């Protein structure tokens, strides 16, 4: 008999799905899930099940699982807990190899016995069961979308190389929405809830072998098997970075975890030690969960010498502070770089790091300066600060920076702070693969994590 985890591919890439609890009512979870599959372009067969039968969204609906005319590979179950257990058994008879149980009402509310019944059925039939008490999963390459939040309220990111595993559906939803807004691509998203059968280590192992995933992000409240988690993560991090945040580090947070996903949060110190031992990059805030992963698409660097390019002196000073705070170094420009900069910069501009090319800088001045910094062997990474509020700077600079970053062998990150116009430019840069940040401190926090990973973990 196969271990359930061996069938995880049927959760992410099924040829057919059965949606148990599909609803005629637009405000219901089952309706949103069916709509997501239909509107998202899922290419496989879809079998909605609802006792009323009829049609939902112009799709034939079956009164029972037994009435479904064919076998199916994945079941998505969104009905009350007691009925969910019986439905899983019926889905097994129809050949289901994976199941996503959205339903709550199990161990997170103290109903461990009912959850154990679910587990027994899944293990008996080798079903890769995600959940219960979860928000669903998303695979951008296959258009599998069982996330029950409607697309007009929660954006769906484009296809990319970042996978996100979240014990909390709410946290996962926030990150998905941010990724969609800023054009940051993901490969897969999983909200795994109570982790009754498929746990965080199983998901890590699956993503380790997934060619579409280059970086893994995790929100954890607790782990099912500490040794398994440590062993799995240690095998993955030399090849793919794992960024994780541990929730429930306070006494109050620890207590809240038990009533949320039924997990035991455990000692925060033990988790952080395990992160360090296995090479996991620790995130401290939800902002970190969004800010840090996107930098890992950049070229690897083992150096700490940072160049700062800005059109505002004060921002350069803040960047210098952030660089020192993170134990990085301000790069010393080579004599050739200094000479070349002086050839076109205004006479009142200083050709030194941080490099302030003055408030009247246009896109062409940024382009010339950036090319010199890329070519300077004394520089390991570049921070570009853009004050879009100045009259001379317009959106053309985003294309210039994106093209330079595409061919640069050094990581380039951007900082831009402001209102709607600035935010639009940030989103454009992020969507073109240039990581952006709202402040020099947030940029250096992400960059320092990236450099530490390159120095300590990369083969």
- Integer CA distances (angstroms), 163 to 70, 294, 378, in order: 32, 11, 34
pLDDT (0 to 100) of residue 259: 45
Q: What is the per-residue pLDDT across 259-281, written as a single tens digit (0 to 9) for each?
A: 444 444 457 888 899 999 999 99
Whether 250 has a pLDDT exceeding 90, the answer reads no
Q: What is the per-residue pLDDT across 204-221, written as a single tens digit (0 to 9) for each?
A: 999 999 999 999 999 998
In angstroms, the CA 332 to CA 352 distance is 8
Whether 319 has a pLDDT exceeding 90, the answer reads yes
Residue 153 banded pLDDT, cuts 50, 70, 90: confident
Q: What is the per-residue pLDDT across 343-378, written as a single tens digit (0 to 9) for each?
A: 999 999 999 999 999 999 999 999 999 999 999 999
In angstroms, the CA 363 to CA 335 distance is 24
Same domain flag for 6 and 139: yes
Q: How many CB atoms lie within 10 A of CB 130?
A: 33
Scan for tokens 């807990």, then name that residue. Answer: 81
- Integer CA distances (angstroms), 308 to 108, 191, 343, 403, in order: 49, 39, 19, 18
Same domain flag for 159 and 242: yes
Same domain flag for 94 and 201: no
- What's the gap between Cα 304 and its chain centre? 26
Question: Which one, of 296, 288, 319, lies nearest residue 417 by Cα?
Answer: 319
Question: Which one, of 170, 138, 136, 141, lies nearest residue 156 by Cα?
Answer: 138
Q: Which CATH number goes with the domain that contains 402?
A: 3.40.50.261
Whether 222 has a pLDDT exceeding 90, the answer reads no
Scan for tokens 């899944």, then name that residue. Answer: 122
Last residue of a domain, one of 127, 145, 163: 145
In angstroms, the CA 73 to CA 19 distance is 11
In angstroms, the CA 322 to CA 447 distance is 11
Q: Which CATH number goes with the domain that contains 45?
A: 3.40.50.720
pLDDT (0 to 100) of residue 249: 65
- Integer CA distances (angstroms), 214 to 211, 380, 408, in order: 7, 22, 20
What value does the mean pLDDT take over residues 162-172?
91
Residue 256 banded pLDDT, cuts 50, 70, 90: very low
Last residue of a domain, one of 78, 112, 145: 145
What value does the mean pLDDT take over residues 388-406?
96
Q: Residue 86 belongs to what domain range?
A: 1-145
The tally of domains found in the chain comes to 3
pLDDT (0 to 100) of residue 1: 63
Q: What are the E-state strand segments in 226-349?
A: 242-246, 281-282, 305-310, 329-330
What value does the mean pLDDT take over residues 97-106?
96
Question: Which one, of 440, 451, 447, lies nearest residue 322 by Cα?
Answer: 440
Q: How many CB atoms lie within 10 A of CB 427?
A: 16
What value does the mean pLDDT take over residues 450-455?
94
Same domain flag for 303 and 443: yes
Same domain flag for 110 and 184: no
Question: Which one, of 61, 126, 72, 127, lies nearest residue 94 by Cα?
Answer: 72
Same domain flag for 23 and 89: yes
Q: What is the per-residue pLDDT across 22-69, written as a single tens digit (0 to 9) for each?
A: 999 999 999 999 999 999 999 999 999 999 999 999 999 999 999 999
Residues 6 or more apart in contact with residue 445 via CB below 8 angstroms: 288, 291, 292, 322, 326
Same domain flag for 130 and 169: no
Question: Which one, of 14, 145, 31, lies nearest residue 91 by Cα?
Answer: 14
Scan for tokens 């993503």, then name that residue. Answer: 207
pLDDT (0 to 100) of residue 458: 61
- 160 within 8 A of 187, measured Cβ to Cβ: yes
Q: Is the N-terminal amide bond of 325 cis, ω within 30° of 0? A: no
Last residue of a domain, one of 112, 145, 178: 145
Same domain flag for 97 and 180: no
Residues 6 or more apart in contact with residue 403 via CB below 8 angstroms: none
In angstroms, the CA 306 to CA 383 distance is 7
Same domain flag for 287 and 305: no
In angstroms, the CA 259 to CA 264 distance is 10
Partners of residue 381 on adjacent β-strands: 306
Instruction: Map residue 130 onto helix, strand or coil.
Output: strand
Same domain flag for 195 and 258: yes
Question: Which one, of 87, 78, 72, 85, lies nearest residue 22 by Cα?
Answer: 78
Same domain flag for 195 and 305: no
pLDDT (0 to 100) of residue 286: 86
Same domain flag for 313 and 289: no
Whether 253 has a pLDDT exceeding 60, the answer reads no
């Amino acid at each position: 008999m196969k271990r359930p985890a061996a069938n995880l591919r049927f959760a992410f890439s099924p040829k057919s799905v059965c949606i148990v609890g599909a609803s005629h009512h637009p405000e219901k979870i089952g309706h949103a899930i069916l709509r997501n599959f239909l509107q998202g372009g899922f290419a496989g067969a879809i079998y909605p099940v609802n006792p009323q039968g009829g049609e939902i969204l112009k799709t034939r609906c079956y009164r029972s699982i037994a009435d479904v005319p064919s076998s199916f590979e994945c079941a998505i179950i969104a009905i009350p807990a007691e009925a969910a257990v019986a439905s899983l058994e019926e889905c097994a008879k129809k050949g289901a190899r994976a199941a996503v149980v959205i339903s709550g009402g199990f161990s997170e509310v103290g109903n461990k016995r009912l959850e154990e019944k679910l587990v027994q059925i899944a293990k008996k039939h080798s079903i890769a069961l995600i959940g219960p008490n979860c928000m669903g999963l998303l695979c951008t390459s296959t258009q599998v979308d069982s996330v029950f939040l409607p697309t007009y309220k929660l954006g769906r990111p484009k296809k990319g190389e970042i996978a996100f595993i979240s014990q909390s559906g709410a946290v996962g939803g926030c990150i998905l929405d941010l990724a969609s807004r800023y054009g940051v691509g993901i490969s897969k998203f999983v909200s795994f809830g109570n982790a009754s059968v498929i746990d965080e280590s199983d998901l890590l192992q699956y993503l380790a072998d997934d060619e579409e995933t280059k970086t893994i992000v995790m929100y954890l409240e607790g782990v099912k098997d500490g040794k398994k988690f440590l062993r799995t993560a240690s095998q993955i991090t030399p090849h793919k970075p794992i960024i994780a945040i541990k929730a429930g580090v306070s006494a109050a947070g620890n207590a809240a975890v038990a009533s949320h996903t039924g997990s035991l949060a455990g000692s925060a110190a033990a988790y952080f030690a395990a992160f360090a031992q296995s090479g996991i990059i620790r995130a401290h805030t939800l902002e970190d969960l969004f800010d840090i992963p996107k930098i890992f698409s950049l070229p690897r660097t083992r150096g700490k010498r940072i160049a700062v390019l800005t059109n505002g002196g004060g921002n350069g000073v803040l960047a210098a502070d952030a660089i020192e705070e993170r134990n990085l170094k301000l790069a010393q420009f080579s004599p050739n770089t200094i000479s070349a900069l002086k050839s076109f910069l205004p006479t009142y501009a200083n050709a030194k790091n941080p490099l302030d090319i003055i408030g009247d800088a246009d896109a062409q001045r940024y382009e010339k300066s950036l090319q010199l910094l890329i070519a300077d062997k004394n520089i390991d990474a570049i921070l570009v600060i853009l004050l879009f509020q100045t009259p001379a700077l317009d959106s053309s600079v985003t294309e210039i920076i994106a093209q330079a970053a595409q061919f640069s062998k050094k990581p380039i990150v951007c900082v831009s702070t402001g209102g709607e116009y600035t935010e639009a430019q940030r989103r454009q840069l992020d969507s073109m693969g240039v990581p952006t940040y709202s402040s020099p401190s947030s940029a250096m926090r992400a960059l320092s994590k990236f450099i530490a990973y390159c120095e300590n973990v990369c083969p």
